[in-house]
Structure 1
Amino acid sequence: MRAKIFLQLLFIGLLSSCGVTKFIPEDERLYTGAELEVKTNDSEGVNNKALKIIHTRLEDVIQPDPNGKFLGMRIGLWAYYKGSKEKPGFINRFLKKKIGQEPVYFSQVNPSKTEELLLNRLENNGFFYSLSSSESTGKGKFAGVEYMVEVSRPYRLEKYQLEGDSLTIQKEIAKIIEETELKPGVRFELDAFKSERLRLNDELKKRGFYNFNADYLIFEADTNNYDERKFDLFLRLKQDVAEKSIVPYEVKDIRVYPNYSVDEEKGNQDTTTIQDIDFIQDELAFRPELLEKYILIKEEEAYSSELSRLTTNRLSSIGNYRYVNLRYVEKDSIGTQGPWGLDANIYLSPLKKRSLRAELQGLSKSNNFIGPAVLLTYRNRNIFKGGETFNISAQFGYETQIAGGDRTGLSTYDIGLKSDLIFPRVIFPVNIEERFSYSVPKTKISLGGESLNRIGLYRSNSATISYGYYWNANRFVYHEINPISLSVVSLSDTSPEFEEILDDNPFLRRSFEQQFIAGLNYTFNYNQLGDQFRKHKIFAGTTVDVAGNLLNLMDNTFGKGESGKVFGMEYAQYARGDLDFRYHIKLGEENVLATRVFGGIGIPFGNSVSLPYVKQYSAGGPNSVRAFRIRSLGPGTYQPDSINNQSYFDQTGDIRIEGNIEYRFPIVSYLKGALFMDAGNVWLMNDNEALPGGKFTSSWLRELGVGAGFGLRIDIEFFVIRFDFAAPIRKPFLPEGERWLKEFKVFDRDWRRENLIFNFAIGYPF
């Protein structure tokens, strides 16, 4: 049945627009959409940039939207008509339900009404006395509308002032107006006035005016003082506004309930007072002296909506509470002198303290390894009654590599144990007063061990310890720093085949012998990609990783044994940093153009001639240059004599440069499509005789691998299953002059086997 549906969809794709003509009723014409022409006879008052902005705003007014097209075909409309027949059949009913679009006819269009809306939108933007007209277009069973708008010179602001200054609130408004964006010369714009009113409302709430509302402010425009198109803007308060709405409040009593539940009866609760804040709880659920540090509102200080919001954010960021509710109660202030009063009650409803979770996972990694895994996790929230979280997890997994051409069949099983202890505050030998108002930095201590067996090659046992801090500076910015990061790796049970690989490449052997990695790392992310309402989105991330310097200093100062070793193990010395920049632009409701540029470099020094193997870069695969198999690209122009699992370990580097561009579009329902192009490679910092052509040189641009392809994605909101098909356009390992692919024989089986690469992955690549 699925094959039949697919074939019918393929058949639909072969239909042209005229495939729906026979279904259009005799007395109707299909609406094909509208064209909008915006012009002006006053080029000095309205320049080309302003015309483009006006054009965009006016397009939002034009309704209705015509039936959608995919590659010029009205597939949704065709499915609707076919599914609406007297006896449509199961498949046609299914297609109508899933992708059908009800037809939009020209009779549903009201051009005169739309003209009125266009003029109204122009007046709201300061273009009074403009002109609009329309005429129908098209022929036969298809018709559209062309709208013409002639824009007049806009009205511009001359003076903006507040009426009245005797009330306390009016004095505060006068101070806030000094920071206004409504400067002389700006165009009359209704949305700008609304934004200014909301800004004033927000600022007043930050300054104590608890009951104020933006609706209490009125703007009035006056053009009587000018012959030219100018206006004065006056701001005033509404008359007869209740006194409590225009007076400042201050916080009086603050009460915190650290273990609040609406389902439980209140018993004999104890009250502990810290810094004038009452902490009320039946039994000790959270140590008051620690919880107090998260609360920014203070007794006898002015009410502030911003401090209230930040207090709620900070308490939520602890990670122990399901609900955080800050409620204010007005005190009886009649007849009192000074600010009116508010009592603050903070109700904290905790999550379940202990949990045990078992998961059966299906893993898909960027190196094309997939397989099952079992994960057991125990969690204890608030283990020391200060919001601390203790996690311990055990994992057993098996992986095998697929979609790697001749590299398939590399299998691995691993057993791991990891524990984390997270403190929702800064833990440091010297007391540090944190000053992060948005969220509180967390201290994380991690300890883990893993035994990994690459079947038929080697076994690797590792232990890691890290100590660091992470926090969100705001909703876009994330920081993480680990001043202590230790990793010990022990390589054992190496097979003769793997020993042969290491003997052929001394650099690779050295990278595996770097058994001890000790250093620090820092990560910074600026991420707007999760903001669904933003048209232009960026992500900028950088990671800096430095290792071995402190050990080298201790080795040179106190070392008595073999230089370059600690506890009998070689330690790595390197500096590694990378930058990941992404830019997404929405071209429609679900159409996105996504781009990424990545650059990374690792510099080995001291007793290291190469990066540790786990720190090296690779290129190719589902999250890299997708037209090349995993780790099959580079370094530089290097190409192994035979492509197999041995070359899997060779084709890594100290430098990685990559660029990607991808156009994402909807197909039907949860099925999305993509067209993409990738370019990139990896290189070595030092010459390696085993990898000729691998060193980074000034000709690196001519050594980029380039590929292009298309993809299908099943996007079900909370996860994405991705299928990408790609072919190389440029192969850097071929002789110069032969690197660009000159022919595409997509119907030739041998060509497809050699060039067409299939990638399967979870999630978007960038």
Structure 2
Amino acid sequence: MSAVALLLLFFIMASCSIKKHIPEDELLYRGGEVNIETDSIIAEEEQLQDELEAILRPEPNTKFLGVYPGLYYYYINQREKPGFINKWLYEKIGEEPIYASDVKTYEVDDIIINRLENHGFFYSSSASTLDKNEDDKIAKAMYSVSIKQPYTLASYQLDSLQEPIYTSIQRSVNRSEFKKGLRFDLDFLKTERQRIDHHLKSKGYYNFNSDFLIFEADTTRYSSRQFDLYLRLKSGVPKKSLVPYRVEQINIFSNYDIENDSITNDTIRFNNKNFIETESYFNPKDLDPFITLKEGDFYNPRASRNTARRLSTIGTYKYVNIQYEEKDSLLTDSTAVLHANIYLSPLNKRSLKAELQAVTKSNSFAGPALEFSYSNRNLFKGGEIFSLSTNLGYEFQMGTDSDEPSASSTSIGIKGEILFPKVLFPFKISDSFFDYSIPKTKTSLSIDYLNRSDLYRLLSGTAEFGYVWNENKYTTHELNPISINYNNLIKTTPEFDIILEDNPFLQESFDQEFIAGLNYSFIYNEMVDVNKTHQIYVNTTVDIAGNVVSLFGKDNSDSKTETFLGLEYAQYAKLDVDFRYHFNFSNDQKIATRLFAGYGLPYGNSELMPYIKQYYSGGPNSIRAFRIRSLGPGTYEGVDDGTYNDFVDQTGNIRLEANLEYRFPLFSFFKGALFTDAGNVWNSKENDALPGGKISSDFMQQLGIGVGVGIRVDVQGFVIRFDFAAPLHDPTLKDGERWDFQYDETRFNFAIGYPF
């Protein structure tokens, strides 16, 4: 029997021994039950019963699979020497016992009656008893609730008020969902007050408060449990709360420094706004589109929030503070005046960073990496962010035999990027089209050199031009209408030439040196709401290449393919869907799941996908029980000769993957995880060099499956991850032998951040 099974058996047996620890004069409380009796038909009676049972107090001790683990470790820790493990388990899952003597049923009766009255069930009653079982030493509270017919709305109207607030409130009342026959409910009244307050704020009532509103119910006109509802203002409401405010002046301090706020500033008037700065820092015409406030408009908190959010997304400012200044001297019986002051505190304009890294990978490569980066957050005084980075890395393969030369890899790269906080487009696009945020235009250019000592030397370049914008809090769009990749094998070793000769498909994927097309990503991300119980993340990416280039292609005399600028170009369509669901429950525990599906379709000038666009499986962010790029395609088994060669060609144009992970706290900033991963890659066409790699109807039997445990160091969102995983289902084995828990093949994965 495994250690896990023994531990589980001990856990269950020990947890069953609760009864003997209960004191002689006590009974263990097992919760309560509500039985409802009504004198009329009540809508949603089952929901009402669930609500009443949810407010019963106290809550009983937790019972899991018929046992009380929390209680067991409470009683064990009452011993003189409970032991370290028992103390630790008590801190994690222990609970103090809840006895029948702790239950004050008469207090719960009052709570039930109060909740019923809040829902309009006046003159109801509740009677309680304790149902005791002396043999099992347990007790249960029984509540018999008699519910009377609820009071319903006959009419809803607004009392007379002074103008202009009377007309503003009346318009909101006319759109109210309070209709005749609505059951009285205190929560409905609170929601109605907040709705009216929100409406008034949007119409300029800067100083209004929902607490100024009061409801009065009159039942004297009816004998059939009906009431008239009247809305009025409390007495003593300040005059300035009853009039709308207009924004008379907008002042933008584009480089505000709180320590030097007395320095003389220059003021530039642009588009009915005052741009105030100590020096020429930010062009007013570039900053103006981010400000949705307008002079002469009524105060509107939504416009204020939009302005603050849009300014924060520029990336140039660390603080955005909007303050409104009341001009009491201009207060009248019908209107008041505000001045909007927008204080913008810039980040440091320039920064230089050097970073030395120690890199370890799941393919046994390790080594140092050095990176330098320079950034300018306001390059042309329009919020443009320019970044330039260079990197140098060296990796060598550990664990090889001393008689064999160690494979190594050297990489050098440089990348430049400019992010414009506006739309660069031949035609002007109205700013009102992007209400939530203004799109950013992204341009980048990078060149990389990679030397794998035992394989090849590769020179690659990438150029992109595109846009990224947020549609709302959760939705992001990213469109790159121009995406160009250039890859050139400038030198190959004889060993790699043999690999290419044996695998014409792999050679053809490297021959496609030029990739030009567009890509689009749609991202829906609820993970930004960290307190949400159910979180969904969806990332859908479409990548299309070669269509425009094909219009200018020329026939290649050496092959059937066409070339552009003397380079063979790729033509394909690729679709990825990455779906994730997180279920967050008590005590910082989480069930995290992911499903990934991707398909690449080569056509026209390409018979297969370019190598850099193909899928691979395995590694710290994929199927963790297998080395990176070592799983698949299909049932193909690479030749493990101790070098990089054994999985250079283990890629495919189809990928399917599913992950399930249970995350839980351990202590301090350490967290644990139990996980299982399943997936593989396949080819849509047969490749003689990769037998078993073509997808077939039994693809589900070809999934690589692994299970494992992990430890994570999570310090304020920065996560260092250690995962240990072993294969459970290996598709490279013979059919009938694939299900085998290979614990002796456990792989260690080290990574930064969560895998999904």
| TM tier, smaller | 0.7 to 0.9
Q: 1:655 touches 1:684 (CA, 8 Å); kept in 2?
A: yes
Output the CA distance in 1 between the equivalents of 2:444 and 2:603: 28
Q: How does 1:284-323 map to 2 (within 5 A)?
A: 284-323=280-319
Q: 1:248 touches 1:302 (CA, 8 Å); kept in 2?
A: yes
Q: 1:227 to 1:601 in 2, by over 3 A?
A: farther
Shift of 1:508: 0.9
Q: 1:83 touches 1:93 (CA, 8 Å); kept in 2?
A: no
Q: 1:504 to 1:306 in 2, by over 3 A?
A: same
User: Hey, what does 1:664 align to over in structure 2?
Assistant: 663
Does residue 475 (structure 1) correspond to residue 473 (structure 2)? The answer is yes
Q: 1:11 to 1:733 in 2, by over 3 A?
A: closer
Shift of 1:284: 0.9
Structure 2 residue corresponding to 1:763, chosen from 746, 753, 756: 753
Amino acid at match of 1:253: Q
Indicate the RMSD between aligned Cα atoms, in angstroms: 4.1
Q: 2:29 touches 2:140 (CA, 8 Å); kept in 1?
A: yes
SS at match of 1:493: strand
Does residue 113 (structure 1) correspond to residue 107 (structure 2)? The answer is yes
Output the CA distance in 1 between the equivalents of 2:132 and 2:400: 55
Q: How does 1:97-136 map to 2 (within 5 A)?
A: 103=96, 106=99, 110-128=104-122, 129=124, 131=126, 133=128, 135=130
Q: 1:298 to 1:430 in 2, by over 3 A?
A: same
Shift of 1:609: 1.5
User: Hey, what does 1:415 align to over in structure 2?
Assistant: 412
User: Hey, what does 1:437 align to over in structure 2?
Assistant: 435
Answer with 668-677 or 439-448: which moved more: 668-677
Q: How does 1:555-704 map to 2 (within 5 A)?
A: 555=553, 564-640=562-638, 642=640, 645-704=644-703
SS at match of 1:650: coil
Q: 2:132 touches 2:139 (CA, 8 Å); kept in 1?
A: yes
Output the CA distance in 1 between the equivalents of 2:8 and 2:49: 41
Shift of 1:646: 2.7
Amino acid at match of 2:539: G
Amino acid at match of 1:696: I
Q: 1:185 to 1:514 in 2, by over 3 A?
A: farther
Output the CA distance in 2 between the equivalents of 1:370 and 1:191: 61
Cα deviations by residue, 1:396-423 (Å, 9 ceiling, x for unpaired): 2344678999xx9865332221121111
Output the CA distance in 2 between the equivalents of 1:490 and 1:526: 36
Shift of 1:38: 3.9
Output the CA distance in 2 between the equivalents of 1:591 and 1:263: 44
Structure 2 residue corresponding to 1:360, chosen from 356, 359, 380: 356
Amino acid at match of 2:267: T
Q: 2:73 touches 2:90 (CA, 8 Å); kept in 1?
A: no
Q: 2:36 touches 2:49 (CA, 8 Å); kept in 1?
A: no
User: Hey, what does 2:744 align to over in structure 1?
Assistant: 753
Q: 1:160 to 1:622 in 2, by over 3 A?
A: farther
Structure 2 residue corresponding to 1:529, chosen from 516, 527, 530: 527
Output the CA distance in 1 between the equivalents of 2:651 and 2:190: 56
Answer with 114-123 or 317-326: which moved more: 114-123
User: Hey, what does 2:3 align to over in structure 1?
Assistant: none
Answer with 756-765 or 445-454: which moved more: 756-765
Cα deviations by residue, 1:715-762 (Å, 9 ceiling, x for unpaired): 3341333344444444444555x2662x65xxxxxx4225x4544433
Does residue 249 (structure 1) correspond to residue 245 (structure 2)? The answer is yes
Q: 1:495 to 1:426 in 2, by over 3 A?
A: same
Q: 1:617 touches 1:682 (CA, 8 Å); kept in 2?
A: yes
Q: 2:159 touches 2:230 (CA, 8 Å); kept in 1?
A: no
Does residue 278 (structure 1) correspond to residue 279 (structure 2)? The answer is no
Cα deviations by residue, 1:42-69 (Å, 9 ceiling, x for unpaired): 599457x763575367436634675898
| TM-score, normalising length: structure 2 | 0.86
Shift of 1:390: 1.2
Shift of 1:94: 9.2
Q: How does 1:513-524 map to 2 (within 5 A)?
A: 513-524=511-522
User: Hey, what does 2:4 align to over in structure 1?
Assistant: none
Structure 1 residue corresponding to 2:537, chosen from 496, 518, 539: 539
Answer with 389-398 or 663-672: which moved more: 663-672
SS at match of 1:155: coil
SS at match of 2:648: helix
Q: 2:247 touches 2:298 (CA, 8 Å); kept in 1?
A: yes
| TM-score, normalising length: structure 1 | 0.85
Where structure 2 has 5 or more consecutive residues not aligned to the other structure, the ranges are: 1-6
Does residue 59 (structure 1) correspond to residue 54 (structure 2)? The answer is yes
User: Hey, what does 1:3 align to over in structure 2?
Assistant: none
User: Hey, what does 1:454 align to over in structure 2?
Assistant: 452
Shift of 1:710: 4.2
Cα deviations by residue, 1:290-337 (Å, 9 ceiling, x for unpaired): 212211111111111100111111111111112111111111356747
Cα deviations by residue, 1:461-512 (Å, 9 ceiling, x for unpaired): 2221111111212211111111111121222332222222222111111112
Q: 1:258 touches 1:279 (CA, 8 Å); kept in 2?
A: yes
Q: 1:727 touches 1:757 (CA, 8 Å); kept in 2?
A: yes
User: Hey, what does 2:321 align to over in structure 1?
Assistant: 325
Q: 1:477 touches 1:524 (CA, 8 Å); kept in 2?
A: yes
Output the CA distance in 1 between the equivalents of 2:412 and 2:65: 48
Output the CA distance in 2 between the equivalents of 1:763 and 1:418: 23
Q: 1:168 to 1:137 in 2, by over 3 A?
A: farther
Output the CA distance in 1 between the equivalents of 2:40 and 2:737: 53
Answer with 553-562 or 201-210: which moved more: 553-562
Q: 1:420 touches 1:447 (CA, 8 Å); kept in 2?
A: yes
Q: 1:366 touches 1:761 (CA, 8 Å); kept in 2?
A: no
Q: 1:248 to 1:80 in 2, by over 3 A?
A: farther
Amino acid at match of 2:253: Y
SS at match of 2:170: helix
User: Hey, what does 2:549 align to over in structure 1?
Assistant: 551
SS at match of 1:199: helix
Output the CA distance in 2 between the equivalents of 1:701 and 1:96: 40
Q: How does 1:505-516 map to 2 (within 5 A)?
A: 505-516=503-514
Structure 2 residue corresponding to 1:266, chosen from 262, 267, 272: 262
Cα deviations by residue, 1:198-221 (Å, 9 ceiling, x for unpaired): 222122111111111011122344
Does residue 345 (structure 1) correspond to residue 310 (structure 2)? The answer is no
Amino acid at match of 1:664: R
Number of residue pairs the alignment of both structures matches:
742
Output the CA distance in 2 between the equivalents of 1:168 and 1:263: 42
Q: 2:31 touches 2:60 (CA, 8 Å); kept in 1?
A: no
Q: 1:478 to 1:65 in 2, by over 3 A?
A: farther
Shift of 1:636: 2.7
Output the CA distance in 2 between the equivalents of 1:347 and 1:335: 25
Output the CA distance in 2 between the equivalents of 1:239 and 1:212: 14
Output the CA distance in 1 between the equivalents of 2:218 and 2:394: 76
User: Hey, what does 2:156 align to over in structure 1?
Assistant: 161
Q: 1:457 touches 1:497 (CA, 8 Å); kept in 2?
A: yes
User: Hey, what does 2:371 align to over in structure 1?
Assistant: 375
Q: 1:15 touches 1:73 (CA, 8 Å); kept in 2?
A: no
Q: 1:276 to 1:83 in 2, by over 3 A?
A: farther
Amino acid at match of 1:423: F
SS at match of 2:431: coil
Q: 2:77 touches 2:90 (CA, 8 Å); kept in 1?
A: no
Cα deviations by residue, 1:111-133 (Å, 9 ceiling, x for unpaired): 44344334433443445525353
Amino acid at match of 2:114: N
Could you tell me the percent identity over the aligned residues?
44
SS at match of 1:170: helix
Output the CA distance in 1 between the equivalents of 2:285 and 2:699: 58
Q: 1:446 to 1:61 in 2, by over 3 A?
A: farther
User: Hey, what does 1:748 align to over in structure 2?
Assistant: none
Cα deviations by residue, 1:238-293 (Å, 9 ceiling, x for unpaired): 23322211211111011111111121153332211011211122221111122122
Answer with 394-403 or 591-600: which moved more: 394-403
Q: 1:151 to 1:578 in 2, by over 3 A?
A: farther
